[in-house]
Amino acid sequence: MCVPAILFFLVFAYLPMPGAYIAFTNFQYNKGIFASPFVGLKNFQFLFISGQLGLLLKNTVLYNLAFIILGNVLQLAFAIMLNEVASKGYKKTAQSIMFLPYFISDVLVSLLVYNLINYDFGFISHLVRSLGGDMPKVYQNANAWPFIIVLVHLWKSTGYGTVVYFAAITGMDSSMMEAAQIDGANAWQRIRYITLPTLKPTVIILFLFAIGGILKGNFGLFYNLVGNNSMLFKTTDIIETYVYRSMMNSFNFSQSSAVGLFQSVVGFFIVLGANAFVKHLDPDYALF
């Protein structure tokens, strides 16, 4: 019964792997991957020297760190706070509403953002103007985008994460909580000494998953928000948008493959490293 899955991953995940060889060639489409001339590490060399790899790496890692740290803090805070609220109706309604952005496509997200901040008739631009200020032309200003992208990412993912953490809180042993209450612990103390420690395994597992993806981006979000607006690349280009663009627009298969391979290999070792580190601290929490 595993045969379909084995075949599926063979075709869509393992078959392309030898194709990563393309990163070491000067790829010619009509010759195919393995008949194209071998050029060794030239593609990597070029990317390093031109500084592109450095910029992509910096953007990708910094965005992901912001997503992971801010995202988890926000999700944990919301989940814990909701848990302390007595009203069931409010809890349910809040969860449903917060979950809503997770359901929509990145294409629509980009339209929502455009609606809010475009210079000519965006909602916020207009609001600022009616208050007598002047809104900067955001779509020409690279420095504004780290904030925008992080905010939009948090907007989209907080509800989902909150529900996951909230589920973990609901599933925990309530007798400890009652004992603490009888002992006279106040809400802060209960959160500090009971809720947070019980959430530790969930946080660590999600953190490990997230660290593994630190060189991967949220391609859909970035590409839809920024698109081919080269004025913003300095602060918005991540590994995946670069690979996609240079493959689809300039057909630069060898170099984009080199970036992709770099991403996979480094990402792989980061997961191994993070997992080994967690295993060293406490074997129970390790992924494998």
CB of 62 to another protein, least distance (A): 21
If one asks whether residue 218 binds another protein (CB under 8 A), the answer comes out as no
Q: Which residue number, 136 or 212, has a Cβ lying nearer to another protein?
A: 212
Q: Which residue number, 70 or 185, has a Cβ lying nearer to another protein?
A: 185
CB of 258 to another protein, least distance (A): 9
If one asks whether residue 286 binds another protein (CB under 8 A), the answer comes out as no
Contact characters 112-151, another protein, x per CB under 8 A: x-xxx---xxxx-xx-------------------------
Restricted to residues 31-60, the positions that interact with another protein (CB under 8 A) are 32-33
CB of 277 to another protein, least distance (A): 16
Only one of the segments 46-54, 56-64, 138-146, 256-264 lies at the binding site for another protein (rule: CB under 8 A); that segment is: 256-264
CB of 177 to another protein, least distance (A): 13
If one asks whether residue 85 binds another protein (CB under 8 A), the answer comes out as yes
If one asks whether residue 82 binds another protein (CB under 8 A), the answer comes out as yes
> In angstroms, rounded to a whole number, what is the distance separating the alpha carbons of residues 195 and 266?
35
If one asks whether residue 256 binds another protein (CB under 8 A), the answer comes out as yes
CB of 204 to another protein, least distance (A): 11
Number of residues that bind another protein (CB under 8 A): 96
Q: Which residue number, 48 or 99, has a Cβ lying nearer to another protein?
A: 99
CB of 105 to another protein, least distance (A): 4
> In angstroms, rounded to a whole number, what is the distance separating the alpha carbons of residues 276 and 284?
12
Per CB under 8 A, the list member of 50, 140, 143, 170 interacting with another protein is: 170
Q: What is the 3-state secondary structure (H, E, C) of the chain?
A: CCHHHHHHHHHHHHCCHHHHHHHHECCCCCCCCCCCCECCCHHHHHHHHCCHHHHHHHHHHHHHHHHHHHHHHHHHHHHHHHHHCCCHHHHHHHHHHHHHHHHCCHHHHHHHHHHHHCCCCCHHHHHHHHCCCCCCCHHHCHHHHHHHHHHHHHHHHHHHHHHHHHHHHHCCCHHHHHHHHHCCCCHHHHHHHHHHHHHHHHHHHHHHHHHHCCCCCCHHHHHHHHCCCHHHHHHHCCHHHHHHHHHHCCCCHHHHHHHHHHHHHHHHHHHHHHHHHHHHHCHHHCCC
